[in-house]
Chain A
Amino acid sequence: DSGVTQTPKHLITATGQRVTLRCSPRSGDLSVYWYQQSLDQGLQFLIQYYNGEERAKGNILERFSAQQFPDLHSELNLSSLELGDSALYFCASSVEAGGSYNEQFFGPGTRLTVL
């Protein structure tokens, strides 16, 4: 158990809909990262928050957004969903803001299926 929690574990929805994925980092971690893993793909970095502020952006679509709240939990919002958004979405957390020597600890993921 990494100490990172994600809800829900599974989510099935229809095209055009909007969903929210939730992540609680490990106790004491200030950074939260979101990753997408599509079929046969590695983990693609989407976005990072550190202590409530956006720190870095990766390959995140404009239809996707995220935020980190004062209690440090984070939410990833996916809107106007398309079939291709079906994937595993992982949240990770770390103590530091980023940079080297900074292991990230992953949650169990949310499997999103768009029908």
Chain B
Amino acid sequence: DQQVKQNSPSLSVQEGRISILNCDYTNSMFDYFLWYKKYPAEGPTFLISISSIKDKNEDGRFTVFLNKSAKHLSLHIVPSQPGDSAVYFCAASGRYGGSQGNLIFGKGTKLSVKP
């Protein structure tokens, strides 16, 4: 039972355009969401996060939007650059019985930004 879902395994975008990566979750007890970026042969790198009390968090070219009623979050990258080409993982955590606040990851979306 996947609690965090990234339904698009891959996404291709032209350089300079917006990249939108989507993530859905099922557990309403999640209250913190994170995005990680992963290059081949490297570990995931923390990118940006958002708590459930917010609906938007921005850091430079990266913005994460949270829609709690839809249990959906998205990562916007504007403008997209070739160096953004990587696999992006959505993760969630929450303080509820048995969770210990551990991160639950989606399967990732591979973003390709073409020059």
Taking Cβ atoms with an 8 Å cutoff, the residues of A that contact B are 2, 4, 6, 33, 35, 40-45, 48, 55-56, 58, 90, 92, 97-109
Nearest chain A CB to B97 CB, angstrom units = 12
User: A90 and B102: CB pair below 8 A?
Assistant: no
Which of B13-21, B37-45, B59-67, B71-79 sits within the interface? B37-45
B82 within 8 A of A: no
Give 1 or 0 for each of B47-58: 1 = CB within 8 Å of chain A CB. Answer: 001010000000
Question: Considering residues B4, B42, B100, B104, which has the most beta carbons from chain A within 10 angstroms of its beta carbon?
Answer: B100
Q: Tally A-B pairs: CB < 8 A.
A: 70
Which listed residue, B34, B45, B49, B103, touches A45 by the CB 8 Å rule? B103
Which listed residue, B89, B93, B95, touches A42 by the CB 8 Å rule? B89
User: Can you name the residue of chain A whose Cβ is closest to the Cβ of B107?
Assistant: A42
Give A102 to B93 CA distance when docked, in angstroms: 9
Nearest chain B CB to A32 CB, angstrom units = 12
User: A103 and B34: CB pair below 8 A?
Assistant: yes
Contact count band on B: 20 to 34
B105 within 8 A of A: yes
User: A100 and B32: CB pair below 8 A?
Assistant: yes
Taking Cβ atoms with an 8 Å cutoff, the residues of B that contact A are 4, 31-32, 34, 36, 41-46, 49, 51, 89, 93-95, 100-108
User: A2 and B89: CB pair below 8 A?
Assistant: no
User: B42 and A103: CB pair below 8 A?
Assistant: no
Give A42 to B89 CA distance when docked, in angstroms: 8
Give A101 to B107 CA distance when docked, in angstroms: 21
Which listed residue, A4, A42, A97, touches B43 by the CB 8 Å rule? A4
| Chain A residues within 8 Å of B102, by CB | 33, 45, 48, 56, 58, 98
User: Can you name the residue of chain B whose Cβ is closest to the Cβ of A50?
Assistant: B100
User: A105 and B94: CB pair below 8 A?
Assistant: no
Nearest chain A CB to B93 CB, angstrom units = 6
Question: Considering residues B43, B46, B49, B108, which has the most beta carbons from chain A within 10 angstroms of its beta carbon?
Answer: B43
Question: Considering residues B4, B36, B95, B101, which has the most beta carbons from chain A within 10 angstroms of its beta carbon?
Answer: B101
